[in-house]
Protein backbone atom coordinates (compact mmCIF):
# COMPACT_ATOMS: atom_id res chain seq x y z
CA UNK A 1 0.00 0.00 0.00
CA UNK A 2 2.87 2.36 0.75
CA UNK A 3 4.32 1.77 -2.69
CA UNK A 4 1.01 2.62 -4.39
CA UNK A 5 0.62 5.77 -2.29
CA UNK A 6 4.16 6.83 -3.17
CA UNK A 7 3.51 6.32 -6.87
CA UNK A 8 0.24 8.28 -6.75
CA UNK A 9 1.82 11.12 -4.80
CA UNK A 10 4.69 11.13 -7.27
CA UNK A 11 2.27 12.06 -10.05
CA UNK A 12 0.52 14.84 -8.12
CA UNK A 13 2.84 17.59 -9.42
CA UNK A 14 1.88 16.66 -12.98
CA UNK A 15 -1.77 17.37 -12.22
CA UNK A 16 -0.83 20.99 -11.56
CA UNK A 17 -0.24 21.42 -15.29
CA UNK A 18 -3.93 20.75 -16.00
CA UNK A 19 -5.01 24.36 -16.35
CA UNK A 20 -5.41 26.93 -19.08
CA UNK A 21 -2.18 28.73 -19.81
CA UNK A 22 0.00 25.87 -20.93
CA UNK A 23 0.39 24.39 -24.36
CA UNK A 24 -0.36 25.92 -27.71
CA UNK A 25 -4.00 24.87 -28.12
CA UNK A 26 -7.35 25.82 -26.62
CA UNK A 27 -7.36 24.15 -23.18
CA UNK A 28 -10.90 22.83 -23.68
CA UNK A 29 -10.33 21.08 -27.00
CA UNK A 30 -9.55 17.44 -27.69
CA UNK A 31 -6.42 18.35 -29.63
CA UNK A 32 -5.04 19.97 -26.45
CA UNK A 33 -5.18 16.65 -24.60
CA UNK A 34 -3.71 14.69 -27.49
CA UNK A 35 -0.81 16.99 -28.40
CA UNK A 36 0.21 18.77 -25.19
CA UNK A 37 3.08 16.90 -23.58
CA UNK A 38 1.54 17.18 -20.12
CA UNK A 39 -1.49 15.19 -21.27
CA UNK A 40 -0.05 12.98 -24.01
CA UNK A 41 1.70 10.53 -21.69
CA UNK A 42 -1.37 9.69 -19.57
CA UNK A 43 -3.46 9.34 -22.75
CA UNK A 44 -0.88 6.96 -24.24
CA UNK A 45 -0.75 4.93 -21.02
CA UNK A 46 -4.54 4.61 -20.94
CA UNK A 47 -4.60 3.56 -24.59
CA UNK A 48 -1.89 0.95 -23.97
CA UNK A 49 -3.82 -0.47 -21.01
CA UNK A 50 -6.97 -0.63 -23.14
CA UNK A 51 -5.14 -2.47 -25.92
CA UNK A 52 -3.70 -4.93 -23.40
CA UNK A 53 -7.20 -5.67 -22.07
CA UNK A 54 -8.57 -6.12 -25.60
CA UNK A 55 -5.77 -8.52 -26.55
CA UNK A 56 -6.34 -10.56 -23.40
CA UNK A 57 -10.09 -10.61 -24.05
CA UNK A 58 -9.65 -11.89 -27.60
CA UNK A 59 -7.12 -14.51 -26.48
CA UNK A 60 -9.58 -15.78 -23.87
CA UNK A 61 -12.41 -15.84 -26.43
CA UNK A 62 -10.25 -17.76 -28.88
CA UNK A 63 -9.26 -20.29 -26.18
CA UNK A 64 -12.92 -20.76 -25.17
CA UNK A 65 -14.06 -21.44 -28.74
CA UNK A 66 -11.30 -24.04 -29.27
CA UNK A 67 -12.32 -26.01 -26.17
Q: What is the mean pLDDT of residues 39-50?
A: 83
CA dihedral 11, 13, 19, 23 (to 10 degrees): -90
pTM over 0.85: no
Average pLDDT for residues 10-25, to the nearest whole number? 62
Domain count, the chain: 1
The phi and psi torsions of 27 (rounded to 5 degrees) equal -65, -10
Name the residue among 2, 59, 36 with its Cα closest to residue 44.
Answer: 36
Choose the weakest-confidence range: 14-18, 35-39, 51-55: 14-18
The answer to whether residue 23 sits within a structural domain is no
What's the domain range around 42? Answer: 29-67
What's the pLDDT band for 51 if we cut at 50, 70, 90? very high
Res. 60: pLDDT tops 80: yes
Q: Is residue 12 one of the residues assigned to a domain?
A: no
Amino acid sequence: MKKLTTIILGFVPFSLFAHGGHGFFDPHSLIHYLLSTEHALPVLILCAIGVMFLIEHYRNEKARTKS
